[in-house]
Amino acid sequence: MNLPQNSFKRALAAGKPQIGLWSSLSSNYTVEVIAGAGFDWILLDTEHSPNDLENLLTQLQAAAPYPTHPVVRVAWNDMVTIKRVLDVGATTLLVPFVESAEAARHAVAATRYAPEGVRGMSGMSRASRFGSNPNYLRTANDGMGVIVQLETPLALERLEAIAAVDGVDALFVGPADLSAAMGYPGQPTHPAVMQAMTDAVQRCEAIGKPLGTVGGSPDTVAQYRAAGFHYLAVSSDLGLLMRGAQAVLAALRTPDAEHVHLLSSGTQTPTGY
């Protein structure tokens, strides 16, 4: 028995654009909704969310029936944390705050069984289908996807060295942290930040390494696409919920003529309840 190949890793290697969505609500129910929406990938965040390992497990289970590929952002570049996330079935990781080739090698090693790495062996994990896949321990290394997140000017300076680490499948620029580190907190599309990110795209093109990022709105993502980013996430489940709630509230507090007409005519929009 062989487990399915890592479709996201293969798509990045083939240069196929991938559109994803960030998930920060720590909810398996939300993940199932998003996975069924048709995104190429979904980011399950455990760094800036209240997610714990058991929650993450249920989210991976919720995404499993769908072609949308779950990418897990671990809380830190830590061998024990990574081992536990892989054991519950994650196959692609986004590792935050990588600033050097040494840190990238540490991240890759944590995803590999010996002799290629330092991942602890477990014969009865969900990753191996609870031991029913006899080939898992021999083949798991090849299916692991590792994306390292560059979040500072120093990390960008070292981009080529980080990208050259064997086992790093793609790079990812975190615009929020990068903009803050550059002196523009809360301004991820500041011209200086955009220039640094565009330069990173061009350098990745030169070495053949996929580079991704995340934008808070379709307009922002359009700018990143124009800059040449290879894979992107647009907004988040949390952001969509908040903006949707705010829009509905604003419409009801300041109704325009159309809203007044709909209310007065008795026309209703289905709520889904």
Any idea which residues carry the catalytic annotation? 48
Q: Is the peptide bond before 96 cis (omega within 30 degrees of 0)?
A: no
- Exposure letters 222-238 (e unless 16+ CB within 10 A, then b): eebbebebbbbbbbbbb
Q: Cα 236 from chain centroid?
A: 10
Most distant CA pair in the chain, distance:
72
How many CA atoms are closer than 13 Å to the CA of 39, on its beta-carbon side? 24
DSSP three-state, residue 216: coil
Residue 238, phi then psi, degrees to nearest 5: -65, -45
The span from the CA of 51 to the CA of 72, in Å, is 11
Query: 169, 171, 113: which is closest to 146 by C-alpha?
Result: 169
- Here the tokens at position 248 are 């509905």
Query: 43, 66, 57, 50: which is closest to 215 by C-alpha?
Result: 43
- 45 beta partners: 73
